[in-house]
Structure 1
Amino acid sequence: MTSSHTTDTSSEVISSTINSVFIPWDNPENVMSHETYVKFDDALTCYVVPVLFIMGAGGNLLNCAVFWMQGLKERMNLCLFCLALTDLMYVLFHTVMVSYCVVEKLAASVIDVQYYKWYARRFSVGPMIGFMYSSGCLTTIISVERCLCVTMPMKAASLLKTRTMGLIIGVCVVLMHTLCVQYTLRFDLGYVLDPYSGQRVFTMILSDLYFANQDFFDFVENVILSFFIPFFIVSVATVATGVTVVKLHGTVAWRQNSISTRSDDKDKSLVALSQMLVMVSVIFIVSSLPVMALAIVRTAVAEFSVGGKYANMYYAAHLCNSVVFMVNCCVNVCVYFTRSSRYRKECRAIFFAGRANRRVKEADDTVEITQATNATA
Structure 2
Amino acid sequence: MKPSPIFLSDSTAGDPSMNISSILEDLTMPKPVINDELYFYLMFILQGTVCQAITIFGIFTNIINVIIFVKQGFSDTINVSLLALSISDLSSLLLIMWTNLCFSPAIRDSNIPMVTTEVHLITGTWPHIVFTRITGWITAFISLERCVCVIQPLKVKTMFTRKRHVIAMVAIFTLTMGLSSFGYIPGGLGWKFYPDRNKTLIGIAYHLGEDGRKYTDAVSYAISGIFMPISCFLSVVILTTILVVKLNQKMAWRQSNSSAVIQSKQKSTSDGVVNSKERKIAKMVVLMSVIFIASFLPAVIVFFTGIIVPTFNYDKLDRNLVFVMMSLTNTAEVINSSVNIFIYIRMSSKYRETFLKLFKLKTTVNNR
Following superposition of structure 1 onto structure 2, how do residues 156-305 of structure 1 map, counting pairs within 5 Å?
156-185=156-185, 186-191=187-192, 193=194, 202=201, 204-209=203-208, 211=210, 213-256=212-255, 257-258=257-258, 259-260=261-262, 267-305=275-313
Are 1:90 and 2:92 counterparts? yes
Any unmatched runs of 5+ in structure 1?
Answer: 1-26, 357-377
The TM-score, its normalising length taken from structure 1, stands at 0.77
Q: Say which structure is richer in helix.
A: 1
SS in 2 for 1:112: coil
Choose the corresponding residue for 1:37, options 6, 30, 39: 39
Task: Output the CA distance in 1 between the equivalents of 2:334 and 2:354.
Answer: 25
> CA shift at 1:315, angstroms?
1.5
The amino acid across from 1:74 in the alignment is D
Equivalent residue of 1:319, what SS? helix
Q: Could you tell me how far 1:318 is from its partner in structure 2?
A: 1.8
Alpha-carbon offset, residue 201 of structure 1 = 7.7
CA shift at 1:281, angstroms?
A: 0.7
**Aligned residue pair count:** 326
Name the CA distance, whole Å, in 2 between partners of 1:236 and 1:312.
31
Deviation at 1:216, TM superposition (A): 4.1
Match of 1:368 in 2: none
Structure 2 counterpart of 1:178, one-letter code: G
Whether the 8 Å CA contact 1:227–1:292 is kept in 2: the answer is no
Shifted more, 133-142 versus 212-221: the winner is 212-221
- Over aligned residues, Cα RMSD in angstroms? 2.9
Higher relative contact order (CA 8 A, sep 6+): 1
Report % sequence identity: 24
**CA offset digits 1:186-219 (Å, max 9, x no partner):** 333344556xx67558463351236474244223
Deviations 1:139-198 (A, max 9, x none): 11011111111011111111121111211111111111112223344333344556xx67
- 1:71-110 to structure 2, matched below 5 A, reads 71-102=73-104, 104-105=105-106
**Residue 117 (structure 1) shift:** 6.2
Residue 71 of structure 1, CA deviation: 1.4
Stretches of structure 2 lacking an aligned partner (at least 5 in a row): 1-28
- Counterparts of 2:225 and 2:351, CA distance in 1: 35
Q: How does 1:42-61 map to 2 (within 5 A)?
A: 42-61=44-63
The alignment partner of 1:307 has SS state of: coil
1:63 aligns with 2:73: no
Change in 2 beyond 3 A, CA 1:125/1:217? farther
Q: Kindly tell me: are residues 192 and 341 of structure 1, through their superposed partners in 2, closer, same or farther at Cα, counting changes over 3 Å?
A: same
Counterparts of 1:105-144 in structure 2, within 5 Å, are: 105=106, 112=112, 114=114, 118-144=118-144
Give the AA of the match of 2:106: K
**1:95 Cα shift?**
0.6
Residue 330 of structure 1, aligned match among 338, 355, 363:
338
